[in-house]
Structure 1
Amino acid sequence: MIAGATGAGLYSDRCHFGPCPIMKNPAFQVSILAGWAIACLCAAQEAPSPASGPAPVPAPLRPAFLLTAAVHRDGEELSGRWTYSRDLYRTGLTDINGWVAKSRMQRFRDIDIAASERRGGTDFFEFDLDRGPAMAIPGAWNAREPELRYYDGLIWFQRKFNAAPRPGRRAFLRFEAVNYRAWVYVNGKEAGRHEGGFTPFVVEVTNLLREGENRLTVGADSSHDAKSIPTPITDWDLYGGITRPVRLVWTPATFIDDATLSLGTDGRITGEVRLQGPHAAKQKAEIAIGTLASVSAVTDKDGRAAIDLPAPGALRRWTPDQPTLYDVRVTAAGDLLRERMGFRTIAVRGKELLLNGEPLFLRGISLHEEEFGPNPARDMTAPQARALLHEIKHGLHGNYVRLSHYPHSETTLRLADEMGLLVWSEIPVYWTVDWDNPAVLRKALAMQAETVYRDRNRAAVILWSVGNETPVSGPRTRFHAAMADNVRALDPTRLVSAALLVERRSAGGKAVMAIQDPLVDKLDVLAVNTYAGWYGADTLDALAGLDWQLPADRPLVLSEFGADALAGYRSGDRRKFTEQYQADYYRATLAMAGRMPTLAGLSPWILKDFRSPRREHPVFQNGWNRKGLLSETGVRKEAFGVLADYYRRKANQGGH
């Protein structure tokens, strides 16, 4: 959720992350929520079929700027060494009692402190970002300096760059992710702010730049609370800071902010182009899909042009085996947008998943956003992301990855498109959420929208998930239902799922596993996490006796199952944390899965060992969740081969 100079207050119920008097009014909150919920529900109910393109979306959920395909635009990368200043007590934002921060502590000030100190006088400062320590950005601070390993709070970052206003051009800063809250200042003036640690945001800085050197200051606050998404307790690492690239982007005064296309089941390609700027209306927009097809349309008064054309006869549909991408060019108002896009359909027929009308079995695994190495910093460069996806595609013979438990980097999504890996995407509505709080629901809907707008041009994405392992209750189900309606309104071309908990009971002397969750009525694809044989008293031999009672009318994905193993730890008997136990666990669970008649895919937990402060066994864990089939440095465990052999056989049976 972003607010700033160009869209202040659109998504925030807080003023500078302090309570806003109007939004504190419960009646106002409820009325706003009701309006949004009705708008989402109506949009979902009236949403056109996948063939007719994007449905209308409630205006507050659309960010002020998208800058779709920003990686291909004119601009400057701001990666490199940034100086920083810790601010655990947040004195750069507020003083005691919530007063305005004292000037001597305001890290965002545009001032040469060393020069001021040389002049002398009564002023003094308790920071100096010009002379502060430095770290590499992008990347989480937890891995950059030992003293920041478990730092959780606010750190200020500064980067100087040379730029100057360009007549007739607009300037934007696009952040791919800052975890978790961000305040952005340029030359001492606020440009915008954002809440949400895994989605991009854009702030306009056209009128803030000056000739020569410019000072960019970003406050990044990693702390979470009961009203954040996620809440403070998770099973992954803190990872604070500017974790993904920052880019200065230049556009014409009127520019193409967004363009999207998708292939419908009726054989037509539909979508839209959106312009921003003083001359966005009545502009001719031309779209070319490689050399196969071109079409033009004229923008309406809001700068939007609807696109509709028959799919070219020579169009090659994107599949994991042949992930064909086309160069798409959009021109309008003197601007050019370039994208790489694939075209495919995804649907459900009874218990089957259908890709391009053909049955599909998802041979996958779950993945956290951590690069290989003993000290990951979430610095997901293309080589780092490719190394992880290569193990799935070519090591495991997979065609699918569950990107857990938050939107992964744009680099990863584009590589999934290129390499042919289907994607499950989710936002971190995970375990515990303040289900009854309208402001928290707004955050979830906004994060969801930011994810969809970023990734809806990725053919690889087939599933939007609306939650993970959330205990059933009335408020929780209403919250998830609103998310399901919202994502259908935003993108009716993909399927909706959620990783559900299962209920265990006894019947006829047998253990029965069942989905007793009213949320199933909102889902296209059912998914459950199961750890029988690892958590609980079940032995591996007992898995054969588990009876699964499942709805027969929809496909099921085992979204998680797994067991910990320390790479290299083996013993003569089958005990937990050994490679043998993990391998046998996989054999037993895969055999159990084979008896599920509606099973349409698997994403076991997890590809690689990952950081987690919850996991502190001094011999086997030491701050790592060891359920990976690979160690943190990429060593394959015995279970890797078990799953690879299973997927090889599945692939040889045909299908995608």
Structure 2
Amino acid sequence: MNDDWRFRFSHQVNRGDVRRVDLPHTWNAQDALAGRPDYKRGIGNYTKRLYVRPEWAGKRLFLRFEGANSIADLFVDGRHVGEHRGGYGAFVFEITDRVQCGREHTIEVRVNNGEQLDVMPLVGDFNFYGGIYRDVHLLVTDSLCISPLDCASPGLFLVQQAVGECRAEVSARIELSNAAERPQPAVVRLRIADGERTVYEAEKEIVVAPHATAQQERIDFALEHPRLWNGTADPFLYRAEATLWRDGAEVDRVEQPLGLRYFTVDPERGFLLNGKHLPLHGVCRHQERAEAGNALRAEHHEEDVRLMLEMGANAVRLAHYPQSEYIYDLMDRCGMIVWAEIPFVGPGGYADKGFVDLQSFRDNGRQQLRELIRQHYNHPSICFWGLFNELKEAGDNPVEYVGELNALAHEEDPTRPTAAASNQGGALNFITDLIAWNRYDGWYGATPATLAEWLDATHREHPDLRIGISEYGAGASVLHQQDSLVQPVPNSWWHPENWQTEYHIRSWEIISERSYVWGSFVWNMFDFGAAHRTEGDRPGINDKGLVTHDRRVCKDAFYFYKANWNAEPMVRIAGRREVRRVRPTTTVRVFSNCHEVTLRVNGRTVGVAKPDRVCVCTFADVALRRGENIVEAEARDGRTRLTDRCSWVLE
């Protein structure tokens, strides 16, 4: 139901104020991304005409919203149906009793992205875009159906009880809903498929109670010698099909991915997938981009994933909130390890707090955690449930509440560990199963070398703590180039790209040699909007991305990680955008994962070098002539010859 909605703000009450929009839609794509910290935070009204077909007589109708930020109230023909509080989870309302077959009805959704002290998140170093910014679906079912009413979950949960190389034991929980006044006999069938081949099939006769919303039925099964979901090496998925039958006819069907895997996190050896150590080469990702804000379409998600895979990332922290269902599907298919989290976000270096000790705030956090887990439970890519980011213990102290959330996460899902992202010491660091820190050594003060000192000291003092790096990064504008290496002032208008490159080289040297770091996640894969920021090459942008906000330019640091993380042979000259030079000699860096690199300037060979441990070839004291200089790097991988070239001008 994405097409042809009518939109107006709540303060626009004249007939001519209404305009057509198609979903996904946000009203902040222009003002927030223009760097206006007072971008519109208020109520937007969406209306649409819905014709209820005569053939739907006796059916049930549900409206499913994948996301509306952040409070949404649904009306049918002006009558209030329900409210959902939280901008990043899906929600479902049944409208069966509010509509009539053969008639047209008015659907109205009032969405509010204004500040609210009892809805997560309260603060954040990102934009709170308003609108119905994800897909809306009309679900039409029989009176007896697989329930969509349990926190907008699929109604089918695949619980991996025990998984190994020889055998996988799974419990399938199917939730059923019956709108009838009397019990209804039915049959539930479960099929597990490998492509078109059935590897398991079973059925169960049941009776669904009257007015049941989520009656649970269970079918346990085992697969011998299963093919495991093995990350990017082999992201194999079975398909689970749950069907509901009555009087010999199929009345409902739900399909979900089944990726069988087992994993652990060890304080010394880090992350192990299916019994083997897997270094997590991770990035963080916000669900937004230039011009569109957070109203992303399928092709936007696909482009983001292609860039992650090209760089060689095998893990992603989807920060700081549940993201589109489609992105989790893509993660399953490509084998990325996912850290999924609720929007329990602290202020970072800014004002206000991320926790207010209100009962309604606590209830909202529990609701959003349940929604995250139940809606995305079956995704094998998700390995960690994130509970908070950069909270502070001063004032209203969230320690007790985080403990409650931790217990709730384990109650909802005993199979996955909890995680959190911290930026300080204190009791908050010892609640979740895993802990990670947001570290910016060499950007917000200090130097990259202090990261090594801090990691080793923390591991030495807390040897049983499972330590990760949830964020690390430095800002960079591709418009800011310099031929000297100087650490910039973070909140200044000068963010040279070469310092970001240096920062990541030094940081990765430290992280990559410490196996006890269970995962590290670059902040950020892409530049993103933060209307309150005044730095870099323009206001309103956090430019710590490895790729620009519009996805058109991959920065030098992107290619540094590609050389280290992607096994495909490559060669790339760093500093290529520093076209105009003032120094007659320079140091040239080339990123390559090949055996040897030859550097030529103006056709003359100036050096041959082998990449170091982090795939960097350094050529010092390279002379440039006045005017244009053609710089070329050549690497060989077997019989394959790889080249990269650029042009620099010495003034």
Q: 2:408 aligns with which of 470, 474, 486?
A: 486
Deviation at 1:350, TM superposition (A): 4.4
Deviation at 1:447, TM superposition (A): 0.4
Q: Supply the AA of the counterpart residue of 2:131.
A: G
2:139 corresponds to 1:222: no
Could you say which residue in structure 1 is the equivalent of 2:447?
Answer: 539
Could you say which residue in structure 1 is the equivalent of 2:556?
Answer: 638
Could you say which residue in structure 2 is the equivalent of 1:276?
Answer: 177
Tell me how far apart the structure 1 counterparts of residues 24 and 371 of structure 2 sit (CA, whole Å).
20
Give the number of the structure whose residues are more often strand, by fraction.
2
Could you say which residue in structure 1 is the equivalent of 2:252?
Answer: 335
Could you say which residue in structure 2 is the equivalent of 1:55?
Answer: none
Deviation at 1:144, TM superposition (A): 6.5
Tell me how far apart the structure 2 counterparts of residues 220 and 314 of structure 1 sit (CA, whole Å).
46
Tell me how far apart the structure 2 counterparts of residues 147 and 449 of structure 1 sit (CA, whole Å).
32
Tell me how far apart the structure 2 counterparts of residues 582 and 355 of structure 1 sit (CA, whole Å).
31
Name the count of aligned residue pairs.
Answer: 520
Could you say which residue in structure 2 is the equivalent of 1:265?
Answer: 162
Could you say which residue in structure 1 is the equivalent of 2:626?
Answer: none
Could you say which residue in structure 2 is the equivalent of 1:309?
Answer: 221
Tell me how far apart the structure 1 counterparts of residues 232 and 183 of structure 2 sit (CA, whole Å).
38
Could you say which residue in structure 2 is the equivalent of 1:168?
Answer: 58
Change (3 A) 1:425 1:161: same
Q: Supply the AA of the counterpart residue of 1:494.
A: R
Q: Give the structure with higher Rg (CA).
A: 2
Deviation at 1:261, TM superposition (A): 0.8
Which string of whole-angstrom CA distances, capped at 9 and with x for unpartnered residues, describes residues 441-474 of structure 1? Answer: 1100100101111100111111101100112358
Deviation at 1:481, TM superposition (A): 0.8
The within-5 A match list for 1:52-451 is: 78-88=1-11, 126-128=13-15, 132-143=18-29, 150-164=39-53, 166-210=56-100, 211-231=102-122, 233-257=123-147, 258-265=155-162, 267-277=168-178, 278=180, 283-290=186-193, 291-299=198-206, 303-333=215-245, 334-351=251-268, 352-371=270-289, 374-393=290-309, 395-431=310-346, 432-451=353-372
Which string of whole-angstrom CA distances, capped at 9 and with x for unpartnered residues, describes residues 107-162 of structure 1? Answer: xxxxxxxxxxxxxxxxxxx4448x71222221211126899972110111111132
Q: 1:161–1:215: 8 Å Cα contact kept in structure 2?
A: yes
Q: 2:32–2:529: 8 Å Cα contact kept in structure 1?
A: no
Q: 1:164–1:209: 8 Å Cα contact kept in structure 2?
A: no
Deviation at 1:588, TM superposition (A): 1.6
Which string of whole-angstrom CA distances, capped at 9 and with x for unpartnered residues, describes residues 357-382 of structure 1? Answer: 222221110000014xx312323222
Deviation at 1:435, TM superposition (A): 4.2
Which string of whole-angstrom CA distances, capped at 9 and with x for unpartnered residues, describes residues 599-635 of structure 1? Answer: 1221110011101012123x62321100000111221
Change (3 A) 1:348 1:543: closer
Change (3 A) 1:542 1:459: closer
Tell me how far apart the structure 2 counterparts of residues 280 and 573 of structure 1 sit (CA, whole Å).
77
Give the number of the structure whose residues are more often helix, by fraction.
1
Root-mean-square deviation (CA, aligned residues, Å) is 2.6
Q: Supply the AA of the counterpart residue of 1:268.
A: E
Change (3 A) 1:368 1:289: same
Change (3 A) 1:553 1:540: closer
Could you say which residue in structure 1 is the equivalent of 2:624?
Answer: none
Could you say which residue in structure 2 is the equivalent of 1:615?
Answer: 533
What secondary structure does 2:75 align onto?
Answer: strand
Larger RCO (alpha carbons 8 Å, 6+ apart): 1
Q: 1:413–1:460: 8 Å Cα contact kept in structure 2?
A: yes
Deviation at 1:650, TM superposition (A): 13
In structure 1, the gaps of 5 or more residues are: 1-77, 89-104, 106-125, 503-515
Q: 2:117–2:356: 8 Å Cα contact kept in structure 1?
A: no
Q: Sequence identity of aligned pairs in percent? A: 25
Which piece of structure 1 moves more, 330-339 or 179-188? 330-339
What secondary structure does 1:600 align onto?
Answer: coil
Q: 2:32–2:127: 8 Å Cα contact kept in structure 1?
A: no
Which string of whole-angstrom CA distances, capped at 9 and with x for unpartnered residues, describes residues 403-444 of structure 1? Answer: 000000011111111121111011110103334222211100
Deviation at 1:543, TM superposition (A): 5.0
